[in-house]
Structure 1
Amino acid sequence: MKTTLDLNDALITEAKALAAREHVTLTRLIEEALQLRLRAQRETGVRVRLPVFRGKGGLAAGLDGLSNRAMFEAADHDA
């Protein structure tokens, strides 16, 4: 995909020089940098806050919430 970026002149000059030294295109150098940054973001273990229902209710009487089998069987009976 083509896009237009407004980059700092000194940064782009340095990036072009690095790309030339490593015999890669500037596009490839930028792609690699983005991949590294995105991978680092994923690996830092950034936690996502999940919504928690705080209303009344709960499991049906007699249903064992710690048993996958019981939960699947209960779901099948409701269908």
Structure 2
Amino acid sequence: MQTILNIDKHLLSQAEQFAKQQHTDLNHLVERLLRHYLNQELPKSTVSLPMSGYGGLVSGVDGLSNKSMYEAADSDS
């Protein structure tokens, strides 16, 4: 399959030199590097959510009423 890519000329030059050092062509080098990159397991990141000691809704907002929630959201913007 053929695909056209726009690659920075300096990066392409480095890749061509590296392929030559590895005794391969640019096509095989790109395939090998893509496979290697895509087969790596990504580190699982954790998300820290800010916590406050306060809870609940703003006074006057009924959490069981969609209309009340929408009105409260609209009033913030």
List structure 1 segments (4+ residues) > 6 angstroms apart after TM superposition. none
* 1:17-56 map, 5 Å: 17-40=17-40, 43-44=41-42
Q: RMSD in angstroms over aligned alpha carbons? A: 1.3
The 2-side partners of 1:34 and 1:16 are apart by: 15
Q: Which runs of 5+ in 2 are unaligned?
A: 45-77
TM-score (norm 2): 0.53
The 1-side partners of 2:11 and 2:20 are apart by: 14
TM-score (norm 1): 0.51
Name the SS of the counterpart of 1:6 in structure 2: coil
Letter in 2 for 1:22: Q
Q: How many residues align?
A: 44
Displacement of 1:21 in angstroms is 1.0
